[in-house]
Amino acid sequence: MISKNRAICFWVGDVKIFHIRDNKLQFESSSHNLINEVKNNGSITDSNRLRKYRHIVTRSVQGEIKDSQVETKIIGDLSEKDIFIISSDGVHDIINGLNLQSYLNSSGTLIQATKRIEERLKKEATDNFSMIVIQYI
């Protein structure tokens, strides 16, 4: 949600939000999945051992409020042309925040970068994918 020169970002589940300013990654949210939860509580530090569980979601929108709690981030003082990318795991399984930054830096326009990302996903994605791109003007 963007209002009065600030963005209020919120997410739950296997969604990620990326904030990019001047084609540089400023913020990348963490998905609510088993791998991240286990890494965050310190019980296992080698996420490769859990890779097969990467799509097990630990939070989601559902009837149980304790399992539906969203995470939030407020980004103030938005600059002209700040970019927000909201993606499903089908996108961020293939393309991480630094890849997004690279696509933006090597493309003439945001539309061109988005088309290049979509072309790659059509070739490589093993899961369904969706992505919303928002540019603040």
Identify the CATH number of the domain defined by range 2-135: 3.60.40.10
The listed range with the strongest mean pLDDT (35-44, 88-97, 105-114) is 105-114
Rounded to 5 degrees, φ, ψ at 17 are -120, 135
Q: What is the pLDDT of residue 34?
A: 59
Question: How many CB atoms are closer than 10 A to CB 131?
Answer: 19
| pLDDT for res 13 | 74
pLDDT grade for 66, boundaries at 50, 70 and 90: low
pLDDT for 69: 75
pLDDT at 47: 58
Q: By the 8 A CB rule, do 75 and 6 touch?
A: yes
Domain map of the chain by residue range? 2-135
Helix (H) or strand (E) segment spanning residue 41: helix 34-41
Report the chain's mean pLDDT, rounded to a whole number: 83
Q: Using only C-alpha atoms, what is the Rg of the chain?
A: 16
